[in-house]
């Protein structure tokens, strides 16, 4: 048995990851540490290798995840890491949060009380403030009112409150009204933090920078920079540039299984959506929507073959797709093709694919399925 089935696979460059981490560190002030966001299996890149590389090679000690299962996995990969659960953990699992020394995001007084009631030991937490995302967190009209609730939560036994945080909704936009909106979000959490200080309450952390804010509105007052998508070399928003030197960590490859000549009038794939209007050479590629290469790319996407862009013809199938290789005469069965990444002078990014069917690069990399092996390149 070969190390992996050379059908469809993702190559993950750990050297690019290290370089990205160092560039992101350089964006921040000395008062701000990088918190690597590794939820969703490190955005589809594979959390084991990503976390170990960041912890051991890049000296990153803070990690953020979505749920308890992800947090426990990170704890196994990085025993000494500080791990924050950004999402919900059912209160009945409070003992596991404490046992694994995880930091839980707390979104309300009721949730804080439920965690405390279900835990035999102290639980570390950061309190989430909803400053305008409209998702989760304490919601108040004034920073003073917000500080009041935080002070009450801190009185709950078995809770060790170490910080407050919020999430920006439009920090990836340079539209004037969105800049003003993000300013208000930032002002609210900082005013809340300062109000707590005025009452003699000094917390270790106040953080609000996501990937977009880290790139476009970096603030030394955020103790943590929650680097997510930029860590993997993709754009928070495709319309804005990311710092020079950041590069995609993942490339997606597959092989050609069959090459044939079709005549004018021949149909390709389900639904007969494509019919050749002249003689063409068509190659079948061993990847499909079950691998995470979206069916929405049917007739839109292009794939690199020998350094040339070849268009998809017909519908993307569950396990295969077809491309026009009429202009790449030396194409044969067994050739490696690139769906995301570079070949010669041509590059196709996850962000480019996302723009073709109206989504974001996040969804593209997170959507590459588990049956696609991740191959790690140092």
- Report d(CA 119, CA 230) in Å as an integer: 36
* List 39, 128, 253, 302, catalytic entry: 39
Q: Which two tokens stand for residue 354?
A: 């996302």
Are 188 and 145 in contact, with CB atoms under 8 Å apart? no
Of the residues 4, 260, 270, 300, which is catalytic?
270
DSSP 312: B
Neighbours of 266 (CB within 10 A): 14
DSSP for 15-54 reads: HHHHHHHHHHHHHS-TT-EEEEE-HHHHHTT-HHHHHHHH
In the numeric block, the tokens 């945080």 are attached to 165
Query: Alpha helices of 58-142 — where are they, by DSSP H?
Result: 68-77, 94-99, 109-118
User: Of the candidates 372, 374, 375, which has an alpha carbon nearest to the alpha carbon of residue 7?
Assistant: 372
Q: What element of type H or E holds 161?
A: strand 159-165
Q: What share of the chain is helix, strand, coil (3-state, %, to 5)?
A: 35, 25, 40
Active site residue 39: yes
**Cβ atoms of residues 163 and 223 within 8 Å:** yes
Known catalytic residues are 39, 270
């Amino acid at each position: 048995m070969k190390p992996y089935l050379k059908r469809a696979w993702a190559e993950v460059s750990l050297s690019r990851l290290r370089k990205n981490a160092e560039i992101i560190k350089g964006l921040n002030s000395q008062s701000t540490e990088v918190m690597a966001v590794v939820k969703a299996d490190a955005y589809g890149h594979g959390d084991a290798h990503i976390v170990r590389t960041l912890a051991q090679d890049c000296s990153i000690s803070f990690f953020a995840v979505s749920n308890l299962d992800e947090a426990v996995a990170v704890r196994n990969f990085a025993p000494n890491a500080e791990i924050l659960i950004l999402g919900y953990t059912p209160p009945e699992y409070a003992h596991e949060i404490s046992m694994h020394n995880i930091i839980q995001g707390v979104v309300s007084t009721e949730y804080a009380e439920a965690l405390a009631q279900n835990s035999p030991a102290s639980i570390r937490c950061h309190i989430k403030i909803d400053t305008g995302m409209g998702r989760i967190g304490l919601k108040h009209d004034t920073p003073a009112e917000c500080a009041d609730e935080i002070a009450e939560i801190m009185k709950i036994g078995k809770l060790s409150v170490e910080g407050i945080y919020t999430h920006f909704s439009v920090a990836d936009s340079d539209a004037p009204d969105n800049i003003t909106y993000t300013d208000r979000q930032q002002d609210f959490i900082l005013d809340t933090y300062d109000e707590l200080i005025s009452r003699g309450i000094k917390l270790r952390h106040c953080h609000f920078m996501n990937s977009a804010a880290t790139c476009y509105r970096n603030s030394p007052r955020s103790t943590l920079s929650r680097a997510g998508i930029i860590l993997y070399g993709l754009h928070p928003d495709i319309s804005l540039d990311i710092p020079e030197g950041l590069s995609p960590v993942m490339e997606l490859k597959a092989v050609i299984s069959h090459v044939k000549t079709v005549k004018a009038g021949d149909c390709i794939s389900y639904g007969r959506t494509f019919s050749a209007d002249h003689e063409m050479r068509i190659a079948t590629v061993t990847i499909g929507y079950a691998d995470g290469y979206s069916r929405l790319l049917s007739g839109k996407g292009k794939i690199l073959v020998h350094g040339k862009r070849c268009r998809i013809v017909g519908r993307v199938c569950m396990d295969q797709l077809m491309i026009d290789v009429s202009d790449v005469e030396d194409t044969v069965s067994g050739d490696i093709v690139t769906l995301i990444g570079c070949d010669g002078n041509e590059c196709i990014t996850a962000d480019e694919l996302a723009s073709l069917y109206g989504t974001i690069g996040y969804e593209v990399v997170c959507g590459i399925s588990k049956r696609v092996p991740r191959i790690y390149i140092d």
